[in-house]
Chains A and B, each alone.
Chain A
């Protein structure tokens, strides 16, 4: 759990981050969105004290981050940045082993952990452990960057535009992978992005920042239905807000009891995708069917449309 209390950063007369408070629940993903210069990166960098706050405090699992020297604090917090910052002179395995080595793990434990992470991130240890970063594709480098951040099993992972350098198809895959890995390790993630789609895709909660202030920190749906400021609705986009809302609900959650002779859809897809399927097939309703063939109910166009309103 990350608790941020009245965190402020001033450089001379300029206030970059202005009395920001919020809490990230253990094992959830919070996403900070904002335009460039909104102070979102500075806010993130104050969590692991790469930037020292002017005032306010940060608690991680109840412990004040100022209790330890900064470098010892950072060894307990995963950190992923745009461009990944892999060490070009070290192999993939050595890169991943960075923090465990700093912590003085014994060699066998480090090797086992590196092997485990390579497998989790679908990088075959035999061909990638001894490769140098420049021999990898962009997507592979990104995975090594996340694996390196998770090597010492940190409870908290900070990510600064971690997918910014990836092309759209690989980016979507990387976002899904992050979700899976976060659930697998139960990590608390705080991620910074300027991409609202990414925020909606990943965030259990989304923080919208502008000019150093936290305008709203809420569930993605609430940002659409109850925006706290005009800037928030500008960021989320007014034109397609109904469709965005639909993309936040799954077919399984919205399905009602009843029969349907329409097309079969999986319960995991979003209402947005289900609506698209109905439009395409010309049917009035769809059957929601589990992977094992159990019918979970039906989804009518009217049910879907009702979910697209505040």
Chain B
């Protein structure tokens, strides 16, 4: 594997190592950001424009020196070291150092007991964070960890970040200030976000799976169903919310029970219905594709040995199609976690509420309070389901 790595050319025993192209880009971007962008932005209150500060200005000399040394090491690894383990370890160390530096800057710039000043991570912080993240991801990909290890790595990363947050390490940074103000609402909106994403997925699976089986069994239905679902996919989300408002509003007006159940023109109902409709295509299409992939001989043998149609479907066909169906579920889940954000626009709630409120108040920290958990959720869902698909696919290979 090491021979195939880009940018590494071993000549004779000594070895002449070329510069890693990805590493070069990341180091250039990170260095430029540290030189020209503020590491943190100090604001005397939430609304006023900020006052940029560099890494050196905000940390004590030993801290700045240590952090810079780790960043230099990571940069050197990115440029010249081919060993993926070393690259990953240095990327993670530098990541921790940068995060702690930002936290320390928050602590240093906030007068004791002050709740008004805001210390926001600046452009340099975010660019370096992304560069180190990419360096780590690239190194992880080169290590080709198995599905179990990947989930374990995700769990460990989330646990470390969670522990740091719980211990208040980042409490003086602006995003955590926004969180402190909105803690109760944050928990509610996060729950609502998950409820909308998983609820619409469950509904789509409940309807899409039988519909996919039906399309498989009755090929004449297939083109019609798939075309209809395809057309729905092409409607922009906001437009679909709008389209659904009228009929659901009318329904609520006509049927008091619907209104009492929360089925109205605005709120969660149109959001769930829209997400459900978007989710149908990946589930139905993947169910059909998965069933088509099942060995005809196995199905014939199953019938020939005396399984009932239901037994053939549940014990053979669906089990063998499961990896492909789960790939559809993965698409839907990631798509839903992202799209639920827009539900906030029509009063559906979810973490999108912070995003749109933040945009309205030009409070970028509030936007991030909504956006970062959404990205983390989507990333985690994708990683976990990918691992699951890989495990199942390996069993039946």
Same complex origin of A and B: yes
Residues of A bordering B, CB below 8 Å:
48, 50, 71-76, 79, 81-89, 98-99, 102, 132, 134, 145, 148-149, 158
What are 30 of the A-B contact pairs (CB < 8 Å)? A50-B303, A50-B304, A71-B308, A72-B306, A73-B306, A74-B304, A74-B305, A75-B306, A76-B306, A79-B305, A81-B300, A81-B301, A82-B297, A85-B295, A85-B297, A85-B300, A85-B302, A86-B298, A86-B301, A87-B298, A87-B316, A88-B295, A89-B320, A89-B395, A89-B396, A99-B305, A99-B306, A102-B306, A102-B307, A102-B311
Give bound CA distance, A102 to B301, whole Å: 14
List CB contacts (< 8 Å) of B285-303 with chain A.
295, 297-303
Query: Measured between alpha carbons, how far is A88 from B392 in the docked complex, in Å?
Result: 12
- Across-interface contacts of B308 in A (CB, < 8 A): 71
Contact A148 B305 (CB under 8 A): yes
Q: Which residues of B contact A71 (CB under 8 A)?
A: 306-308
CA distance A42 to B362 in the complex (A): 74
Expressed in whole angstroms, the Cα–Cα distance for A237 and B304 within the complex equals 34
Complex Cα–Cα for A112 and B295 (A): 29
A203 CB, min distance to chain B CBs, angstroms = 22
Q: Is B397 an interface residue (CB 8 A)?
A: yes
- In-complex Cβ contact of A74 among B306, B316, B319, B395 (8 A): B306
Give chain A residues whose Cβ lies under 8 Å from the Cβ of B299. Answer: 85
Chain A residues with CB under 8 Å of B295's CB are: 83, 85, 88
Is the beta-carbon distance between A83 and B304 smaller than 8 angstroms? no
Is the Cβ of B396 less than 8 Å from the Cβ of A79? no
Across-interface contacts of A81 in B (CB, < 8 A): 297, 300-301, 304
Interface centre among A50, A81, A148 (most CB of B within 10 A): A81
Task: Find chain B residues with CB under 8 A from A79 CB.
Answer: 301, 304-305
Smallest distance from the beta carbon of B291 to chain A beta carbons, Å? 14
Question: Is the contact region of chain B dominated by helix, strand, or loop, or is it mixed?
Answer: helix
How far is the CB of A50 from the nearest CB of chain B, in Å? Answer: 6
A158: chain B residues within 8 A (beta carbon): 304
Kindly identify, within residues 100 to 142 of chain B, every residue whose CB is under 8 Å from any CB belonging to chain A: none
Chain B residues, Cβ within 8 Å of A83: 295, 297
Q: What 3 pairs between A and B have smallest CB-CB spacing?
A: A85-B301, A75-B306, A85-B297
Q: Which residues of A contact B319 (CB under 8 A)?
A: 89
Pick the most buried of B297, B299, B300, B301: most chain A CB atoms within 10 A of its CB. B301
Chain A residues with CB under 8 Å of B304's CB are 48, 50, 74, 79, 81, 85, 158
Say yes or no: B297 contacts A74, CB within 8 Å.
Answer: no
Within the complex, what minimum Cβ distance (angstroms) separates A19 from chain B? Answer: 25
**A-contact 0/1 string along B151-178, CB 8 Å cutoff:** 0000000000000000000000000000
Which chain B residues border A76 with CB–CB below 8 Å? 306
Q: Which residue of A lies closest to B308 (CB)?
A: A71
Q: Are B298 and A88 in contact (CB under 8 A)?
A: yes
- Which residues of chain B are near A48, meaning CB under 8 Å? 304
Distance of A148 Cα from B298 Cα, bound (Å): 13
- Establish whether residues A134 and B397, one from each chain, have CB atoms under 8 Å apart when the complex forms: yes
A184 to chain B, nearest CB (A): 21
Query: Is B297 a contact of A84 with CB atoms below 8 Å?
Result: yes
CA distance A87 to B316 in the complex (A): 7
Alpha-carbon distance between A149 and B299 when the two chains are bound, in angstroms:
15
Chain A residues positioned under 8 Å from B300 (CB to CB): 50, 81, 85
A71-B306, A85-B295 known, 5 other contacts, Cβ within 8 Å: A79-B305, A86-B298, A88-B298, A89-B320, A145-B301
What is the bound-complex CA distance between A99 and B307, given in angstroms?
A: 8
CA distance A132 to B308 in the complex (A): 24
B23 to chain A, nearest CB (A): 40
A74 to B304: give the CA distance in the assembly, Å: 6
Complex Cα–Cα for A74 and B305 (A): 6
Contact A102 B305, CB 8 Å, known A83-B297, A88-B320: yes
Is the beta-carbon distance between A98 and B396 smaller than 8 angstroms?
no
Q: Are A74 and B298 in contact (CB under 8 A)?
A: no
Q: How far is the CB of B84 from chain A (nearest CB, A)?
A: 31
* CB proximity of A132 to chain B, nearest CB, Å: 8
Of chain A, the residue at the smallest CB distance from B303 is A50
B61 smallest CB distance to A (angstroms): 62
Per the bound structure, the CA–CA distance linking A71 and B308 in Å amounts to 6
Complex alpha-carbon distance, A48 and B307, angstroms? 13
Q: Closest A residue to B311 by CB, please name it.
A: A102
**A256 CA to B305 CA, complexed, in Å:** 49
Q: Is the CB of B305 within 8 A of A75?
A: yes
- The residue of chain B having its C-beta at the shortest distance from the C-beta of A84 within the complex is B297
Question: Nearest chain A CB to B325's CB is how many angstroms away?
Answer: 14
B173 to chain A, nearest CB (A): 50
A84 touches B301 (CB 8 A): yes
**Complex-state Cα separation, A256 to B307, whole angstroms:** 55
Residue of A nearest to B319 (CB): A89
| B301: A residues at CB distance < 8 A | 79, 81, 84-87, 145
- On chain A, the residues within 8 Å of B302 by CB distance are 85, 87
> Which B residues are in CB contact (< 8 Å) with A72?
306
Instruction: Please tell me if the beta carbons of A98 and B320 are within 8 angstroms of each other in the complex.
Output: no
Chain A residues whose C-beta falls within 8 Å of the C-beta of B397 in the assembled complex? 88, 134
Cα distance A90–B69 in the bound complex, in angstroms: 55
User: Complex formed: what's the CA distance from A126 to B299 in Å?
Assistant: 28
* Complex: A99 Cα to B302 Cα, angstroms: 10
Residue of B nearest to A102 (CB): B306
Alpha-carbon gap, A39 to B297, bound state (A): 19
Closest CB of chain A to B303's CB: distance in Å? 6
Contact residues in A for B306 (Cβ distance below 8 Å): 71-76, 99, 102
